């Protein structure tokens, strides 16, 4: 069982290192992060914490210094009478969608570092042998750490690593005391400490989920080229890295066009290890010289002009009854229960955030529900990028809810996260609703995406973490959905046979919409969500 990682938001100080890691998470083609510093300065803690931000399913893989090429890239074998080609995956397959951490990277053989940097830059691992070519996606954040006292990387490898940060333990006594205090609190009660920082980490994770690199004006690219020449960066990798990192920084800060200030902030990270005058000179950069060069270059770059925002959507309608969505009247009950329409605030964004919360407990049909959920998520993502929609997936089972997929518009990210969805245990329905609501209502999200909470459940609850009646706890969580004005729909996987009142009670508490699924399949679930979106804003 993997140990819990320290929350990223709880790490004290190390702002430059945090920024470098986040920029690589926004765009792994930045080329990775090299952390240079003495032991005990928090390097591995932040590396693990970044993987936690990428999602509970994002792998964190450590590559031992003594690894072989085969262990890293995998192997191709031709076996059997039919000469079938078999691919045995290696580390680069296992780390897809996550973080690859190499401690003491300066002791790793040069040819392995070359392979790592090639794949980190391209996002593809390709094997060739016996006339056979096999490739697979391998997008990950590469993080290497080293103690300079143990020797440096050779200059050619230094140049191929995207960003470099000198990591030192804080010298301010108050800051050191805060580091120790938080670490002791984490070690004493990990569950409580993680819970106290969960909202801050979730906010960072949500921001990462929809961050995209910004565009680069031609004048800014020319400024970067002049800057790299003036600072003595050989080759073109420095230019590329500064441009990619500046675009990632602007995207991280939710700007669509990068500017001079972005270049100024990332240039020290991208150029410090590329501007050595001799192999015996320690990595570093003259900050005053860099500032002068940036100021002089800024005169040729016009201020960035953000593209006009998309026109505001028409006011959101409440989730109203729909004849097409109503199940057959098998009993004298109202198929859709809703409160009075809740007018939405004017000027809300047209894009939507669909948060699916799916029951993964040991109730009948759990495996089928998980397969349907995976297929529906991939189907919804097929056009999410063009429409700027985001999809998130929460499952609940046993004693807790788990955020399987943080908000994203990437099919590739979803496939990497949804490889296996475990089932079984009790039904903590209240925790599932609460987790989905937290994702739907994180600060800043309401201005960019309208949330729709989609609960896939038969409404039965068998566990509540606070020890109260499980159904009462679920009804309380459902009431919070209504109180926060989040549109909701309950999709009942009863396969046409469910006549229990529980899901309809949840709908009434949420002030949302109810639908009894005709069958539990990816196609049916996807269509139900799209229908709910139609009711939400009048467009599929």
Positions marked active-site = 237
Using an 8 Å Cβ cutoff, are 416 and 97 in contact? yes
Residue pointed to by tokens 């994002």:
58
* 3-state SS class at 442: coil
Distances (CA, A) of 399 to 194, 212, 324, 428, 472: 16, 35, 36, 6, 16
Residue pointed to by tokens 């529980």:
502
Distances (CA, A) of 62 to 25, 117, 199: 17, 15, 27
* 3-state SS class at 395: strand
* 488 burial via Cβ count (<10 Å: 0-12, 13-18, 19+): buried
| SS3 per residue for 176-232 | HHHHHHHHHHHHHCHHHHHHHHHHHHHHHHHHHHCCCCCECCHHHHHHHHHHHHHHC
Give which of 46, 49, 57 is closest to 98, Cα–Cα: 57
Phi-psi category of residue 496: left, alpha or beta, with phi > 0 → left and psi -120 to 50 → alpha: left
Q: Please list, in sequence order, all residues whose beta carbon lies within 8 angstroms of the beta carbon of residue 131, skipping any fewer than 6 positions away.
A: none
* 3-state SS class at 163: strand
* 3-state SS class at 101: strand
Residue pointed to by tokens 């700007």:
255
Distances (CA, A) of 525 to 354, 466, 515: 13, 31, 10
Tokens coding 475? 């009804």
Rounded to 10°, the helix 237-252/218-231 angle is 130
Using an 8 Å Cβ cutoff, are 473 and 461 in contact? yes
């Amino acid at each position: 069982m993997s140990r819990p990682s320290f929350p990223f938001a709880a790490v004290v100080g190390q702002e430059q290192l945090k920024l470098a890691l986040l920029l690589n998470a926004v765009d792994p083609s930045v080329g990775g992060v090299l952390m240079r510093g003495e032991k005990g300065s928090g390097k591995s803690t932040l590396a693990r914490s970044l993987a936690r931000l990428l999602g509970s399913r994002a792998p964190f893989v450590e590559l031992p210094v003594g690894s072989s090429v085969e262990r890293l890239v995998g192997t191709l074998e031709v076996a059997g009478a039919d000469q079938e080609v078999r691919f045995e995956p290696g580390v680069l397959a296992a780390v897809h969608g996550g973080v690859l951490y190499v401690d003491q990277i300066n002791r790793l053989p040069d040819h392995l570092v070359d392979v790592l940097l090639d794949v980190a830059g391209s996002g593809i691992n390709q094997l060739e042998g016996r006339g056979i070519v096999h490739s697979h996606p391998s997008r990950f954040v590469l993080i290497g750490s080293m103690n300079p006292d143990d020797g440096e990387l050779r200059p050619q490898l230094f140049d191929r690593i995207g960003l470099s940060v000198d990591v030192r333990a804080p010298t301010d006594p108050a800051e050191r005391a805060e580091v120790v205090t938080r670490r002791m609190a984490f070690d004493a009660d990990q569950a409580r400490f993680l819970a106290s920082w969960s909202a801050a980490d979730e906010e960072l994770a949500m921001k990462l989920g929809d961050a995209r690199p910004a565009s680069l004006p031609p004048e800014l690219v020319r400024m970067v080229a002049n800057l790299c020449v003036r600072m003595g960066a050989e080759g073109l990798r420095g230019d590329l890295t500064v441009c990619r990192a500046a675009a990632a920084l602007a995207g991280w800060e939710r700007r669509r066009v990068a500017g001079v200030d972005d270049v100024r902030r990332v240039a020290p990270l991208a150029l410090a290890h590329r501007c050595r005058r001799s192999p015996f000179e320690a990595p570093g950069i003259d900050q005053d010289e860099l500032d002068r060069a940036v100021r002089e270059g800024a005169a040729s770059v016009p201020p960035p002009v953000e593209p006009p925002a998309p026109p505001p959507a028409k006011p959101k309608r409440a989730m109203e009854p729909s004849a097409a969505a109503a199940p057959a009247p098998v009993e004298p009950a109202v198929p859709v229960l809703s409160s009075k329409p809740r007018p939405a605030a004017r000027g809300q964004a047209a894009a939507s955030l669909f948060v699916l919360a799916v029951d993964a407990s040991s109730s009948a049909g759990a495996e089928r529900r998980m397969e349907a959920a995976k297929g529906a998520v991939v189907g919804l993502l097929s056009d999410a990028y063009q429409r700027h929609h985001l999809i998130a997936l929460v499952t609940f089972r046993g004693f807790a809810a788990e955020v399987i997929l943080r908000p994203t518009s990437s099919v590739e990210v979803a496939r990497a996260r949804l490889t296996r969805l475990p089932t079984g245990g009790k039904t903590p329905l209240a925790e599932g609703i609460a987790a989905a609501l937290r994702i739907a209502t994180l600060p800043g999200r309401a201005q960019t995406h309208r949330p729709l909470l989609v609960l896939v459940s038969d409404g039965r609850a068998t566990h509540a973490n606070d020890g109260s009646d499980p159904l009462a706890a679920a009804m309380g969580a459902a009431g919070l959905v209504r109180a926060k004005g989040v549109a909701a729909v309950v999709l009942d996987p009863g396969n046409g046979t469910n006549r229990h009142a529980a899901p309809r009670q949840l709908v009434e508490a949420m002030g949302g919409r109810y639908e009894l699924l005709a069958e539990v399949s990816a196609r049916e679930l996807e269509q139900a969500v799209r229908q709910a979106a139609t009711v939400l804003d009048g467009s599929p």
